[in-house]
Chain A
Amino acid sequence: MRILDIGVAAGYGILCVSLISLLNPYSFDGGQVTAASDARASAALADYVQAVGLSFLANAPPSEICSSLQARSNGTVILGGSVDGSACGTAPVAFVGSSGFGFTVQGNQVEIEAWVEGR
């Protein structure tokens, strides 16, 4: 009887601890940070296009567009992209959020990307 009692209690305890570790609420923290950072990257991307204007992106050579992307990057938000396949900048080694938008202007395929640095 005692052995059965201990067995049931121990088994139930192990089951509960397993479920508690499986349903770890802290695992969502990273997701929320990513969601917030994605929104930040998206806003940074829109701000960049507004600042330089679509006319600039349609007519400037890729090197000038690349310079403007680098000039508007800062310590936390990195901008990059490509114009007609000519890539500019790469994603940072560690980033918590990103956003990208591609469009065609004047026959040029422009892709603007933004990354929020962090771990």
Chain B
Amino acid sequence: MGRRAVAATLVSLLVFTTMLGADGAVYSSESSSLGSAVLATVQLRERDYGGLLVGLSAFRSLAEAQSYLNSNTFDCSSPQAYLDLIAGRQQYAGASEGIAYSTVTSWAYSSEPAGENGSAYVPGFSGYQNGALNLEVTTSVEESYNDGLPSYSFQTVGTVHLQVPLDAIISGCVAALSDLGAALSSLTGCNSSAVAAALNLADSSFLLLDTYVLGASASPLPTGCLVDYWVATTVLGLGGVSGAFQWSVRGEGSLAT
């Protein structure tokens, strides 16, 4: 009877130990599986946020470029110097859902396609467009979860554009300047009335000049006359990320007669 009781006790100890071991193994496996699932979710979220942050960088670059255009008159006589000044750089940092992020964005006018095709988060402004005002945007993104792992960092270069017919605006302005120069080249005298007459003639002779405000001044030289002249216009209803905007364009020239 005593041996039986000991045997039964040993069997029950074995059974319970086996059950406990099996449960512990399943528990450990499930715990590890949950950890992997949470890690994967955070990685997916960091990837989604990464795309959003690149989109925000593209948007902010376009908004800054639009603001620059809106508040600075474009000199079509020397466009490159103006376009070079569109370049800029910004840094942003923040946190959302336990993910801390920081972005460094730099942008510059681009005359040819560069990198990837912009950002899907700025539809209508993404990618390179021939003849438009294109920007090359470089974005560096760093993300980390609760200041630790998983972390995610990458750099991307893409092209976006403002809906500004840059090439057409430059060629129109240069042609208008050329027309006005031609009209002023045969100035009858070196005084304001001769200049006014030449401006009227230019305005009526060249259809292109109808959309421009014209101006000129004459100053006598020892052997002739120096004429400074300019054309100016404002292009309305341009498409920007901050809404429609206008752009003042001006061209200047001078000639000696």
Chain A residues with CB under 8 Å of chain B are 1-2, 5-6, 8-9, 12-13, 16-17, 19-20, 23-25, 28, 31-32, 35-36, 38-39, 42-43, 45-46, 49-50, 53-55, 58-59, 99-103, 105-106
B222 within 8 A of A: no
Chain B nearest CB: distance from A63 CB in Å?
A: 17
Chain B nearest CB: distance from A20 CB in Å?
A: 5
The count of chain B contact residues (Cβ–Cβ below 8 Å) is 47
Which of B2, B8, B40, B56 touches A39 (beta carbons < 8 Å)?
B40
B19 touches A58 (CB 8 A): no
A103 touches B122 (CB 8 A): no
Rounded to whole angstroms, the CA-CA distance of A1 and B1 in the bound complex is 11
Contacts of B29 in A (CB 8 A): 25
Known: A54-B122, A55-B59. A20 touches B8 (CB 8 A): no
B122 touches A101 (CB 8 A): no
B34 within 8 A of A: yes
Q: Which 6 A-B pairs have the closest CB atoms?
A: A16-B16, A23-B27, A35-B37, A25-B30, A28-B30, A54-B59
Rounded to whole angstroms, the CA-CA distance of A38 and B59 in the bound complex is 27
Which of A25, A38, A45, A100 touches B27 (beta carbons < 8 Å)?
A25
Which of A12, A31, A100 touches B38 (beta carbons < 8 Å)?
A31
Rounded to whole angstroms, the CA-CA distance of A105 and B58 in the bound complex is 12
Contacts of B34 in A (CB 8 A): 28, 31-32, 35
Rounded to whole angstroms, the CA-CA distance of A77 and B132 in the bound complex is 39
Which of A5, A50, A53 touches B6 (beta carbons < 8 Å)?
A5
B23 touches A19 (CB 8 A): yes
A103 touches B94 (CB 8 A): yes
Task: With CB as the reference atom, state the residue of chain A lying closest to B17.
Answer: A16
Interface segment among B43-51, B167-175, B213-221: the answer is: B43-51
Contacts of A20 in B (CB 8 A): 19-20, 23
Which of B5, B24, B30, B37 touches A36 (beta carbons < 8 Å)?
B37
Chain B residues with CB under 8 Å of chain A are 2, 5-6, 8-9, 12-13, 16-17, 19-20, 23-24, 26-27, 29-31, 33-34, 37-38, 40-41, 44-45, 48-49, 51-52, 55-56, 59-60, 63, 94, 96-97, 120-125, 241-243
Known: A35-B41, A49-B52. A25 touches B26 (CB 8 A): yes
Interface centre among B30, B56, B243 (most CB of A within 10 A): B30
Rounded to whole angstroms, the CA-CA distance of A105 and B26 in the bound complex is 48
B12 touches A9 (CB 8 A): yes
Which of B26, B30, B37, B55 touches A54 (beta carbons < 8 Å)?
B55
A49 touches B24 (CB 8 A): no
A102 touches B96 (CB 8 A): yes
B23 touches A23 (CB 8 A): yes
